[in-house]
Every structure is written in C-alpha cells, then in structure tokens.
Amino acid sequence: MGPLALFDLDNTLLDREAAFSRWATTFGTEFELPAGSLTLIGQLDGDGSIPREEFFEAVRRAFGITTSIEELVTRYYLEYPECFTVARDTIDALRNLRSQGWKVGVVTNGPPSQMRKLECTALVGEVDAVCISETIGAWKPDPVIFEEAARRCGLPLRGWMVGDSVSADIVGGQGCGLRTVWMSRGRAWDPSELPPDAVAATIPQAVDLILGARRPCVIEHSPSKTTT
C-alpha cells in the first residue's frame, strides 16, 4: 500500500474557517457593514460550497453593496488566499511522511487560485504534486482527479486520501480503492455512510495513522448530525 498520500486543501491541510473569518472581517470594515454582519456572511458562504458569484450576489443584496459582482469576485480571489496560514505541526507532519519515502499530493476542488493558497503558506514546496479541479477539468469525487494526482506523483493509485468532505474526499477516495482518513472538525460520522478507515482531528494525527504509529480512532455515530 502506498507510498502515496493525497490530501484535501481547505479545512484539511489549511484552516479555511479561520482564513475566511479574517477575510470577512476586513471586508466588513471596508464596506462599513453593521455589527453582526460577519455571522450572516458566514451563513451565506456555506462553508465555501456556494459559487462565489452567487455568494457575492447574496452579500450585495443583504447589505446594499453597489460594487459589481465581477469586481468583488476578482478582488476576493486576489485577497482571500493571503488570509491563510499553515500550522507548523502540519508542515512537520508532511516532512515526516516524505522523509519516510512517501509521495504527497494535494487534490482540491476549486478555481486555479487554490494554488495561491499553497504559495502564500509555502506549502507548495512541501508536496510532490497539486491537482486543482478547474485546472484539470475533473472534480472530486470523479476518479480522474485522483488518478491524475497519482500520475503526477509517479505512482499507481494505491494509498490514502485525507479530507474533511464525506462526498468529495471519503466517498471519492473509497471509489478509487484508496484508504481514507476523515478530518472530523468536531463532527460525528453519519452511520448511513460507509465509514472511513480512520478519523483524525489534526494533520499530525492523520499522518501518524497513515504511518501506523497509532491505533485508528473510534468512529462516533450520531443520527442527529449530518456531514457534507
């Protein structure tokens, strides 16, 4: 098995929630939005699942902003990646994995600007390959994007997929025959879904699981919570 380890980007290698909060705070200050506006902006964002044109259309409507959607989207893709930081222990974990002969790839859905997040955090130098959906024309859970990541790493598609999205990362990885680590982000696994091989709260923990340094986490089931 392996040595191939593929990782999602947002809310897996990088803390998207924290970065979006930084961006939203700056945005709110610039447009002089009322107190409490950040909560609504977060709801409209849908954890990044809403297309940015739709997101900014909703934001403009909610706050009476007259700046065009095109300008807002363009500025967003320039400014938002600079709000990202990477945890030191994440870098150390990736280096540990690679030092033991593993190839590490990033498999992320999104626009080409995803690469700027890797550049702004210097993560681009800590991985062997990057596959961005809009760049290659395939989106997780499509097997094509996983296959391309393995090809760019120079390995067959055998190994692990680590990510926070059930549908894109876990189901997608399982569909390709990869073992999977789910980044739980405080959520419980939906028992109606085929479970991942392991659950982790941090990248160092995920890497430890991959390397077999620790026993897999017990998956907690909660019918009252769902995952997306």
Question: In this predicted model, what pLDDT tens digit does every residue of 163-207 receive, in sequence order?
Answer: 999 999 999 999 999 999 999 999 999 999 999 999 999 999 999
pTM of full prediction above 0.85? yes
Question: In this predicted model, what pLDDT tens digit does every residue of 4-23 receive, in sequence order?
Answer: 999 999 999 999 999 999 99
Place of tokens 């990033």: 106
pLDDT > 70 fraction of the chain, expressed in percent and rounded: 92
Q: Give the torsion sign (CA, 202, 186, 164, 83).
A: negative
CATH of domain 4-15+85-211: 3.40.50.1000
